[in-house]
Amino acid sequence: MNYRIISFAFFWIAIGLWAQEFPPIINFSKEIYQGGNQNWMISSAESDFIYVANNKGLLEFDGSKWRNYPAPNQSIIRSVQVIKNRIYVGCYREFGFWEANKYGKLNYHSLSAKVQSQIKSDEQFWNIIENGEWVLFQSLNQLFLYHTQTGQIERILTDETISKVYKVGNRIFYQVFGKGLFEILKGKSLLVSEENLFKESKVVGIFEGANGFQIHFQYEGFYELKNGRLTPKPTSLPALNLYTSLRLSNGNYALGTVSNGLYITDHQYQTLYHIQQSEGLSNNTILSLFEDENHNLWLGLDNGVDCINLDATILSYDDNNGILGTVYASILFENKLYVGTNQGLFVKAYGKPDDFQLVENTKGQVWSLFAFDGTLFCGHDLGAFTVKNSTAQPIFKGNGTWKFVETEKENLLLTGNYEGLSVLELKNGNWAFRNRVEGFDISSRFFELIGQYVYVNHEYKGIMRFKLDDDLKKASALKIYNYPKKGNNSSIAKFNQTIFYGSEEGIFQLDLNSQKFIRNKSLSEIYQNGNFVSGKLVAEDENMLWVFGKENINRIESLALGKEFKINSIPIDYVYSGALSSFENISKLEKDRYFIGNSNGYVILNSNKIEKSDNHLYIREIVSASEGQKSRDLKLTGEEILENQEKNLIIYFTVPQFNKMNKVEYSYLLSDGNSKDWSKWNIQAFAEFNNLSWGEYVFQVKARVGDVELDEIKEFRFLIKKPWYISNLALLVYLIIFVLLGWLINRIYQKYYEKQNQKLIKENQRKLEINDLESQKEIMKLKNEQLVSDVENKNKELASSTMNIINKNEILTNIKKHLENIQTDSKELKKVIKLIDENINEEDNWNMFVETFNNADKDFLKKIKELHPSLTPNDLKLCAYLRLNLSSKEVASLLNISTRSVEVKRYRLRKKMNLEHEAGLVEYILQI
């Protein structure tokens, strides 16, 4: 639950009461902000970002990350002032402004370039002041005034050194050594005072006062200027060497010294507190002071930057000298603050800057402090004591005392000891030991009393319950609870009219009717997510219970007749993290103010100052990168379109929150239309994504400060293009290729089918031709067969004719021979012989043979004549007869010559044909 902040006046009164207790300090070394040692001026923007003029450039701090922007001429930046969306700076011979671009980075714009000829050779600009529409840049020699609307630059030149310019209300003052204090009025210098201090001493601050102006000098202290005259102001401060001063929003003053750290005074210059390096500052030389909108005081140091949370919920006292030791108990009693530690019991006047004093007789371990009926009791390692002012008197010794509990019996108290319980009794105005409780001797550090029943928690034995007799002397009916389980760092406390038990298992509540412990679900959530460090429970009263967690302290209030609870979580984990676990302690000082002890002192908690701060979430920087290529910044607003290779993304975000005790956590979601799971809360102020696939994305981030979640959610939309091979153009190309390929395939199929058709046609034609050829072949075969038959017939006719001729000749020859043998000379016989000779005439036989031979083998004679042109007709006759494979005798008959003559002819024929000896004449003729 959050509360409204009380007034600053109350806070600073509290500061005065607790002079040794300081607000939290955050230190930033040069290693953290990555700049130079010295920090000359500080300012903040509407976004709450902090800007620092540093030796090595302009520092920007957004609450999560420092960035350094070097000066354009690489010189020391001496001044900075944020006015609207511009960060004006001054440095060596240069002044201008930075402005954020669409990527969240700052771009520089020079103003001094217009008047560079008027700037001296070694001039530096030490201060920047806003005055209406004018911005004033001050060096030690002159002033330049820049009009933000027209861009006009005017110049005010002086002959003497200007130490510093001051804005008081709507008036501008500056000091000139040797002359006095001047005011700029309508662009001209007007002398205000010629007091010697203004001529001889350096002014570090001028502020409005009730009756005039408050003037702060470097060495001479504080004065009031009225009607041109200076009047010193009384102060409790020692002589100081001031370098800078600032009036805070609550009217107090912050004073930065050269070597003595920081002083905070009230408006009457009375010391509220003094913070040096020993109290937590990074450095004792303070060069600049600045208060932001959340009342944090920023210190630009000679070596570092510090932030003091003036409006923090807590103030801390660090026992750096080891005087107190570890604090185990505290109580405000009779306007004195008593603190029990492992060194003893200490006391100091409440609300005064006094040192703690050791209470006499209490040296050693103090466990508890308890106020009852006007008496202060101290539970000690040595026993039990009553305390009066700065002295303690023992009630009993020898048995260490943990705790005191009021009983229903008048003038009787119950104490928990190292060995069981004891009873104290008030007699004759003094408290004394009465008796030990018999029947129970277990160490009773945590015990509570409800009626006659005592509930004891022991870390190693668990929760026990027993009954006291009416006289508080004996214990009976001991019961040991098996549930909840025993646990280290566990405890019990009486709250809301019953017993509560805290352990790592959760927080349990005793049901008085069933006498059973029941786990309280809502209260147990305090220990979830690793927040458990101790089960220590501290009851403030019947309606208030404190529960300690790792990251916060929780105040539980009883509501709705004790059946519901309100949990207020206070994030101050770093303060008491050094406390011994299960020995955490807290006590009420006054309304809403609490004392919390730890191992190095204590803190003061103002629970009424807890509220929901006006924090804002920003996306600061977006960087995309692809493998093997340089990264590039992306726009912070609008939708970005990334190339497909830009698959890696880093997104930086922040909440500019500078309270040391408040932890800022972030949760983010990268949605691509499917994912709906937010990341776990984490302090990491960036999100990194790698190997993202193409598509549309929405990045969302939310934040919480402490346990308070901010209402706003920031988002960044981006699109990663498809790979080139599935881009719209590629798809169009693919479509064209597909259409062309389809057309080509169709054409190929058409060609193929046409070719196949042509092939089929040709095949059919070929088959037809083959069939035709076969038919023709068949016809030719038939013709050839017929021709062969005709040739054979003709050959038969030729052979028959030839044989007939031969036979005829043979017969006629034989007849002739017989007739010649007839010894007669008859004419008739001669006539017959003549007739026979005529019938066996060779020429006639040949002519008849040729006619028949040509019918059978008409080309033979032509071919052989072509082969052998020298052959005579008689040779051709012989060839023809040999073609018919006739023997020499048969040839002789046809030629009407002797067989011997035929052989001679054959021999001659071989020679004409030039046949080899081995070649047969007949075989050769048959082959032609």
- Inter-axis angle of helices 728-821 and 842-857, to 10 degrees? 160
Q: How far apart are CA 724 and CA 715, in angstroms?
A: 28
Q: What is the pLDDT of residue 11?
A: 34
The pLDDT tens digits of the residues spanning 647-666 come to: 999 999 999 999 988 889 99
Q: What is the pLDDT of residue 391?
A: 96
Please tell me what DSSP assigns to residue 52: E
Q: What is the pLDDT of residue 613?
A: 65
Residues 49 and 62: beta-carbon distance below 8 Å? yes
This prediction has a pTM of: 0.77
Q: Which helix (H) or strand (E) holds 190?
A: strand 188-193
Q: Which three-class secondary structure state does DSSP give residue 60?
A: strand
The torsion angles phi and psi of 113, rounded to 5 degrees, stand at -60, -30
Decide the pairing of beta strands 593-598 and 585-590.
Answer: antiparallel
Q: What is the pLDDT of residue 1?
A: 36
Residues 377 and 370: beta-carbon distance below 8 Å? yes
Q: How far apart are CA 340 and CA 381, in angstroms?
A: 11
**In whole angstroms, how far apart are CA 229 and each of 166, 170, 180, 465, 498?**
18, 21, 12, 79, 70
| Residue 119 confidence class, pLDDT cut points 50, 70, 90 | very high
Q: Among 14-28, 387-401, 639-653, 863-877, which is the least confidently predicted range?
A: 14-28
The torsion angles phi and psi of 49, rounded to 5 degrees, stand at -65, 145
User: Residue 926: is its pLDDT beyond 90?
Assistant: no
Higher pLDDT, 775 or 613: 775
Q: What is the pLDDT of residue 16?
A: 33
Q: What is the pLDDT of residue 656?
A: 97
Q: What is the pLDDT of residue 3?
A: 33
User: Residue 183: is its pLDDT beyond 50?
Assistant: yes
The pLDDT tens digits of the residues spanning 286-341 come to: 999 999 999 999 999 999 999 999 988 889 888 888 889 999 999 999 999 999 99
Q: Which residues pair with 110 in a beta bridge?
A: 96
Q: How far apart are CA 318 and CA 601, in angstroms?
A: 5
State the chain's maximal CA–CA distance in angstroms.
223
